[in-house]
A and B are shown apart, each in its own frame.
Chain A
Amino acid sequence: MWQRALCVRFCLLLAFSIAVSGGVCARADSSAPTTPQVQAAFLFNFAKFVTWPNEAFQRSGDSLIIGVLGEDPFGAILEDTLRDKTVMGKKLAVKRFASIHDAAHCHILFLSTSEESRLSHMMTVLEKTNILTVSDMEQFAEHGGMVAFTLEDQKVRFNVNVGAVERAGLKMGSQLLKLARIVSDKPRTGN
C-alpha cells in the first residue's frame, strides 16, 4: 500500500518536472549568445592583439593555431567564429588535443575544465613554450595560466597574469590589458 503511494508521488514529481521543462523549452530560442560563442570571439581578439615571437611560426607557416585541450566546450562554434578570418596575414586554424604533449605547436591553447586536476603537470609541460594559455577554470591565471575567463553578471570578463604572458615571450596589446583584470601568481598550496 505504502509502496503504491510512493509510486504515485514519484510519478507526480516526474510529471511535474517534465511539465516544468516543457515550459522552459518554449523560451529556449532567445537570441542571447552562449558563453562559448562570446569566448570564441574573445579568442579571435586574443589572436589579434597578442604578438608572438617569430620562431613561434616556424612550424605552422602562415597559420595561427588555436588549440582546445580536453572536453571541448565550443563544438562547431569555434570554426564558425573563425571561418575566413585572418590575423596579420595568417589564417586561423583550430585543432583539438586529448593530451598536452600533442599541443606544443599551437599559439593559443584553451584548456578545458576537464583538465583541471592535471593543471600543474600541464603548466610544467608548457613552460618555455610560446603558447598563450586560456581557460575558464577557477583561479587559472593565479596558478600559472595566462588568461582566465570569468563570468560576472552574465558577462564574459577575463583576468590576465601579465608575468606569465611575459615569461612565455608574448606581448599583449594595451587594447586587451586595459580591459583585463590583472592578477599575479599565487602559489598553489598542498591540497
Chain B
Amino acid sequence: MVGDVRQQQMKTLPGQYDHSSDRASVIVLHSINQRMRAPVVSSCVLALVVTLTCAADPVHAVEAPRDLAELSLEELMNIEVTSVSKKTERLSDAAAALFVITQEDIRRSGYTSIPEILRLAPNLQVARVDSSQYAITARGFNSTTANKLLVLIDGRSVYTPLFSGVFWDVQDTLIEDIERIEVISGPGGTLWGSNAVNGVINIITRRSQDTTGGLVSLGAGTAERGAGVRYGAKVGENATFRIYGKGFDRDNTTRGNGTDVEDAWKKGQLGFRTDWSRGSDALTLQGDGYTGTIDQVGDDKSISGANLLGRWNRTFQDGSALQVQGYFDRTRRVYPGTFGELLDTYDIEAQHRFQVGARQEITWGGGYRMMHDAVTNSAGLAFLPNVRPLTLINGFLQDSIALHERLKLTMGVRLESNSYTGLEVQPNVRLAWKFRDDALLWSAVSRVVRTPSRLDTDLFAPNQAPFLIAGGPNFKSEKLIAYEVGYRAQLTPQASFSVSTFYNVYDDLRSIEPGPGGALPFTFTNKMKGYTYGVETWGSYRVFDWWRMSAGYNYLKEKLGFDADSRDSNTAAAGNDPAHQFSVRSAINLPHNLDWDVGLRVIGALASPDVGHYVTLDTRLGWTVMNGIELSLIGYNLLDHDHPEFGAGTTRSEVARAFYAKLVWSY
C-alpha cells in the first residue's frame, strides 16, 4: 500500500530524494563545466555561490524553541507549524513513476514466479519467451538480454556483467515471503548506480520477525508443480530467524504448430534469514542456495548459485541513520556445447542520512564491488579474454530541500568508476509539488549511463581468427538524458490515479559496424542514437468495500537512428516493444471467505521479429477454508489455446492456457 523505504532498503526512492546541496552541485557543475560555454558556467557558479552562502543558515533555524510542553492543550492546538517533519515518505510523495506490488497483490494474483508477478506492474513490459526465459524491461528496449533495468533482491544486485541484464531463471525466493516489490520506471542512476537506466525493481522480502511460525505450500497444475516450506521462530529476546526450502518443475512448452520445445525447467532452492535488533541497532543476515536444470536438445543446461548478505542499520538519537551492507554472490551456468559462466561478486556499501536544519536531508554513501567473471567458450562463440575481473567503485550524494512546505527539490549526483570506461557521472534533479494533501505534481531531469558489458566488448565469433565478430574494443557507455513529468492523486477515498510522461534522449547506443571498406570482422560500436517518449498511467477504484478495480495503460514511441558514418541500419537490434499495453484487474471479496480475482491484459504487436498483439485473461478463486488454510484454483491465459509473446517465427515457444491448484497451510 505504501512505498516508503525502510531499514533494509535505506536508499530513498527517487522521489523522496534528499535535498542535494552545495557539494553535490560542485560535483555536477564540475562535470558539466568541462563541456560548457562561459556564460552558462558563470550563471552556474553564481547560483552555487548563493547556495554556499546560505548553507549555514539552517543551523540557526533550529534555535531553542519556546518550551512548548508548558503550553495548554488549547494553545498547542493553535500553533502553526512549518511542517517539515522527517517522516518516511509515502508512495504519494515519491517524485517518480513508482508502482508497488504488495504481498496481498501477489497472493491474489496466483502467479508462481517473480517474472510472472512483475506482470502486475503496469509500468513494466513482461514477455515470456519459453519455459524459463523472460524478456522484461521498462520504457522500451526489450529483449532476452535487455540491459536497461536494474534489479535488486533485498539490496543485492542480481544484474550480470555479462550483458548488463538479468538471468530471470535464477531469481527466486519463497513467494509467500515477499513483502513487496517496488517498481520504478525511469532512471535511478544517482541512487542505484549504472544500469538503472530505464527502471529499477526492488524485491523486498519480509523480515523474519514477521514470518514466525510454519508454512507449507503445495501446488500442481497442467504445466507446473511446486512446493514450499518455511519455518520461523524467535531466538532469545532480540532475534528471529526463518529457513525455507522450495522446489518446482515446469513442463516443456510447445511451438505454434504443436510440436514440443525441449525446455522443461526444474529448480530447488534453500534459504534463511535472521534479524536481530536491540535499541537502535538492527542486524540482518540472509542467504540462499539453488540448483536447477533446463532441458535442451542434447545434455541439459544447469544453473546453480549461492549468496550471503549481511546488513547493519543504526538509527542515531538525532534521527540520522547509517546502513552498512556486504554480500557475496556466486552464480554458475553451464550450457553444454555453447557456453558456461562462473561469476563471483563481492560487494560492500555504506550510506548515511542526516538532517541539516529543519529543511534539508542529506543522503550520501559509497561502495565497492568486485566481480570475477569466468566464461567457458565454444568453437562458435567466445568471450575473450575468457576470464575478466571487474571492479566498480562509487560514491553518491543527494540533498533534499524543502523549498516550501509543499515544494521539495532533490538534487544528487553519483560518481562511479568502472573497469571499462573509468569515471561516469550521473546527476539528477527532481522537483515535487504537493499542491494538495492528496495530489502531487513532480518532474525530473536525470543523466544516467549503461556501462559496457562483456557482451559489448569481449564477444568474438568464432573463437579464433579470422573473426566475423571481434568484440568492441572502443565500446563506450550508452547514455540517457531523461525528462519526466508526473502527477499522482488520491481523487476520492476510493479512487487513486497516477500518470507519468517521459522524453528520453539516448546517445551512444550499441550498433555493429564492419571494418574499413566493409571488411570483416564486425565490431560493436556506439553509433545508434535517438529518442523515446511515452505515457504510463494507472489507477484503482474501490467500487465497494468488497470490490476493487484497477487498470493501467502504457504508450511508447521510439525513434532510433544511426550516426551519419554508421553502416548499421538495424534499429530492431535495440529491442522489440509494443506501442500500447493495457491491463485491468478486478479483486472481489465474496461471502464464505472466498476471493475472486480476474486480470485481463492487452499487449500490442511487436514489429521485429513480428509478434501479433494478444489479449489474455488470468483468474484466481481463493478459499480460506479455516484460519491458516487457503485453497486456490488458478487459470492462466484462458482466452486462447496458446499465443506467442516474444521471439521469431515458427521456432518460438507459445504461451499456453494452463490451470493450477494450490494449498497453503500456515500456523
Residues of A within 8 A of B (CB): 2-4, 6-8, 10-26, 28-42, 44-45, 70-76, 79-82, 85, 95-102, 112-118, 121, 136, 138, 151, 153-157, 175-176, 179, 189-191
B residues less than 8 Å from A36 (CB atoms): 85-86
Which one, A14, A37, A114, contacts B65 given CB within 8 A? A37
Complex CA–CA separation, A190 to B370 (angstroms): 43
A residues less than 8 Å from B58 (CB atoms): 25, 28-29
Which one, A7, A37, A101, contacts B209 given CB within 8 A? A101
24 contacts between A and B (CB under 8 A): A7-B36, A8-B36, A10-B481, A15-B40, A21-B19, A22-B51, A22-B54, A28-B54, A28-B61, A28-B357, A29-B61, A32-B80, A35-B84, A38-B79, A40-B68, A41-B71, A45-B73, A72-B315, A102-B277, A102-B279, A116-B1, A154-B81, A155-B81, A156-B79
CB of B661 to closest CB in A, whole Å: 21
Q: Is the CB of A101 within 8 A of B47?
A: no
Question: Would you list the 5 A-B pairs with minimal beta carbon distance, nearest first?
Answer: A22-B50, A25-B54, A75-B319, A41-B68, A98-B277
Complex CA–CA separation, A23 to B409 (angstroms): 13
Complex CA–CA separation, A34 to B87 (angstroms): 12
Which one, B7, B35, B69, contacts A44 given CB within 8 A? B69
Complex CA–CA separation, A34 to B282 (angstroms): 28
Which one, A4, A72, A176, contacts B319 given CB within 8 A? A72
B residues less than 8 Å from A73 (CB atoms): 85-87, 319
User: Scoring B residues 537 to 574 as 1 if CB is less than 8 Å from chain A, else 0, what string do you get?
Assistant: 00000100110100000000000000000000000000
B residues less than 8 Å from A32 (CB atoms): 79-82
Q: Is the CB of A190 within 8 A of B595?
A: yes
A residues less than 8 Å from B277 (CB atoms): 97-99, 102
Q: Is the CB of A6 within 8 A of B47?
A: no
Judged by a CB distance under 8 angstroms, whether B260 is at the interface is no
Residue of B nearest to A71 (CB): B88
B residues less than 8 Å from A175 (CB atoms): 73
Which one, A11, A14, A28, A81, contacts B69 given CB within 8 A? A81
Residue of A nearest to B52 (CB): A22
Q: Is the CB of B88 within 8 A of A112?
A: yes
Q: Is the CB of A71 within 8 A of B481?
A: no
B residues less than 8 Å from A39 (CB atoms): 85
Given contacts A7-B36, A15-B46, A75-B319, 20 further A-B contacts (CB under 8 A): A10-B447, A13-B429, A21-B403, A28-B61, A32-B82, A34-B81, A34-B358, A35-B84, A37-B65, A38-B76, A73-B86, A79-B317, A99-B238, A101-B209, A102-B238, A117-B179, A153-B80, A154-B81, A155-B81, A191-B102
Within 8 A of A (CB), among B343-376: 355, 357-359
Judged by a CB distance under 8 angstroms, whether B263 is at the interface is no
Query: Number of residues in B with C-beta < 8 Å to the partner?
Result: 105
A residues less than 8 Å from B429 (CB atoms): 13-14, 17
B residues less than 8 Å from A79 (CB atoms): 317
Complex CA–CA separation, A2 to B427 (angstroms): 19
Residue of B nearest to A6 (CB): B481
Complex CA–CA separation, A145 to B415 (angstroms): 44
Complex CA–CA separation, A151 to B79 (angstroms): 11
Judged by a CB distance under 8 angstroms, whether B138 is at the interface is no
Q: Is the CB of B54 within 8 A of A16?
A: no
B residues less than 8 Å from A7 (CB atoms): 32, 35-36
Q: Is the CB of B209 within 8 A of A17?
A: no
Residue of B nearest to A94 (CB): B317
Which one, A13, A18, A45, contacts B50 given CB within 8 A? A18
Q: Is the CB of B88 within 8 A of A24?
A: no
Q: Is the CB of A29 within 8 A of B44?
A: no
A residues less than 8 Å from B240 (CB atoms): 101
A residues less than 8 Å from B102 (CB atoms): 117, 191
Residues of B within 8 A of A (CB): 1-2, 4-7, 19, 25, 28-29, 32, 35-37, 40, 43-44, 46-48, 50-51, 53-55, 57-58, 60-61, 63-69, 71, 73-74, 76-90, 102, 104-105, 108, 179-180, 209-210, 234, 237-238, 240, 275, 277-282, 313, 315, 317-321, 355, 357-359, 401, 403-405, 409, 411, 427, 429, 431, 445, 447, 481, 505, 507, 542, 545-546, 548, 587, 589, 595
A residues less than 8 Å from B358 (CB atoms): 28, 34
CB of A163 to closest CB in B, whole Å: 20
Which one, B54, B105, B317, contacts A75 given CB within 8 A? B317
B residues less than 8 Å from A95 (CB atoms): 279
Complex CA–CA separation, A2 to B71 (angstroms): 61
CB of A61 to closest CB in B, whole Å: 19
Q: Is the CB of B79 within 8 A of A33?
A: yes
Complex CA–CA separation, A95 to B47 (angstroms): 42
Complex CA–CA separation, A38 to B404 (angstroms): 19
A residues less than 8 Å from B210 (CB atoms): 118, 121
Q: A24-B403, A25-B54 in contact; A82/B69 too (CB < 8 A)? A: yes
Complex CA–CA separation, A11 to B595 (angstroms): 53
Q: Is the CB of A11 within 8 A of B83?
A: no
A residues less than 8 Å from B445 (CB atoms): 10, 13
Q: Is the CB of A19 within 8 A of B409?
A: no
Q: Is the CB of A14 within 8 A of B28?
A: yes
Residue of A nearest to B588 (CB): A190
Residue of A nearest to B404 (CB): A24
Complex CA–CA separation, A116 to B93 (angstroms): 15
Complex CA–CA separation, A33 to B35 (angstroms): 44
Q: Is the CB of B54 within 8 A of A35?
A: no
Residue of A nearest to B19 (CB): A21
Residue of A nearest to B545 (CB): A189
Q: Is the CB of B587 within 8 A of A190?
A: yes
Q: Is the CB of B61 within 8 A of A113?
A: no
Complex CA–CA separation, A8 to B234 (angstroms): 57
A residues less than 8 Å from B318 (CB atoms): 75-76
B residues less than 8 Å from A157 (CB atoms): 77
Which one, A15, A28, A191, contacts B104 given CB within 8 A? A191
Which one, B63, B79, B104, contacts A155 given CB within 8 A? B79
Complex CA–CA separation, A114 to B10 (angstroms): 11
A residues less than 8 Å from B447 (CB atoms): 10
Q: Is the CB of B65 within 8 A of A98?
A: no
Q: A14-B25, A41-B69, A179-B74 in contact; A8/B88 too (CB < 8 A)? A: no
CB of A52 to closest CB in B, whole Å: 19
Residue of A nearest to B48 (CB): A18
A residues less than 8 Å from B80 (CB atoms): 32, 153-155
CB of B239 to closest CB in A, whole Å: 10
